[in-house]
Amino acid sequence: MSIKYITICILILSNVGISFSQKTLKDNQKEGYIIMADGSRSDVAIEVEDATQPWTYQEGIKYYDRALLTGGRVKRELKKSLVAGEIIEYGFGDRRFIYVNYHVKNKGEDVIKSTVEKIKGDKNSDFFAEIITDGKIRLLKFYQPPVITDADYDDEALLKKITDEAKENFDILISREGIAAKSIQEINYKTFFEDCPAIVKKFDDKRYKIQPVSGIKKLLKSEGLTGPKLELAAKTIVDDYTLKCGK
């Protein structure tokens, strides 16, 4: 048997071995990391309920030992809940999610009742939101978690409709050091951008598409921008800030 033939056989067997050793992960499984509230970081496996639903990355996330990532089913008892607040950041690939305390108001919900629930703490407000612009000022993408019944999960067309609507109706949160994340349409822009008079003046002159409101006006306001249009308008403001006052 020639040396050339032996070499070819070794290469073929090596490639077969590599292909068998590679992990084929499910769409909802990722190799990622978590950062605890004390600042400690760990490399883990991240698992969400349904990777096709954009709100699934905001709550109900699980994590476990990366060694269990084989593409197969992982036993429930080996998974831990990714608790927002106890864990302040997680991510995978080039995506990062941070802890936010954000009160969700469902579509059509009574604004007064919703505000009372917020004050009393009757509704969950601990979530993760995805960083879309990082730096001195952060922009975060937040999807309104829809109310889905068990029967809805059996309706494929309805689930697709809910998912498509969510992708077009997300909110944009904004934060900076010392100021917690909140909807960019509800900030006090004079306080938030007090270090940048040029931005405040453009708000005063109504030269931005976003016009934040607060107080009773916030309670009674009609729906403003949402989704991609809101994201573009928010990025315009942050780009202005970076250019004029961000250095």
Flag whether pLDDT at 103 surpasses 60: yes
Listed range (67-76, 89-98, 137-146) with the worst mean pLDDT: 67-76
Q: Can you give the residue ranges of every domain in the chain?
A: 130-247
172-192 pLDDT tens trace: 999 999 999 999 999 999 999
State residue 127's pLDDT score.
96
For 18-66, the DSSP string reads HHHHS----TTEEEEEEEETTS-EEEEEEE-S-TTSGGGGTSS-EEE-G
pTM: 0.81
User: What are the respective helix, strand and coil percentages of the chain, to the nearest 5?
Assistant: 40, 25, 40
Residue 217 phi, psi (nearest 5): -65, -35
Mean pLDDT over 80-104 rounds to: 95
Q: 202 near 208, Cβ under 8 Å?
A: yes
State residue 181's pLDDT score.
95
Flag whether pLDDT at 215 surpasses 60: no
State residue 182's pLDDT score.
92
* Angstrom distance (rounded) from CA 184 to CA 24: 40
Mean pLDDT over 87-102 rounds to: 96
Residue 50: what residue type?
D
Burial class of residue 6, CB neighbours in 10 A (0-12, 13-18, 19+): exposed
Vertex 123: Cα angle to 119 and 126 (nearest 5): 100
127-173 pLDDT tens trace: 999 999 999 999 999 998 888 887 888 888 988 999 999 999 999 99
27-57 pLDDT tens trace: 999 999 999 999 999 999 999 999 999 999 9
Flag whether pLDDT at 98 surpasses 80: yes
State residue 214's pLDDT score.
61
State residue 19's pLDDT score.
37
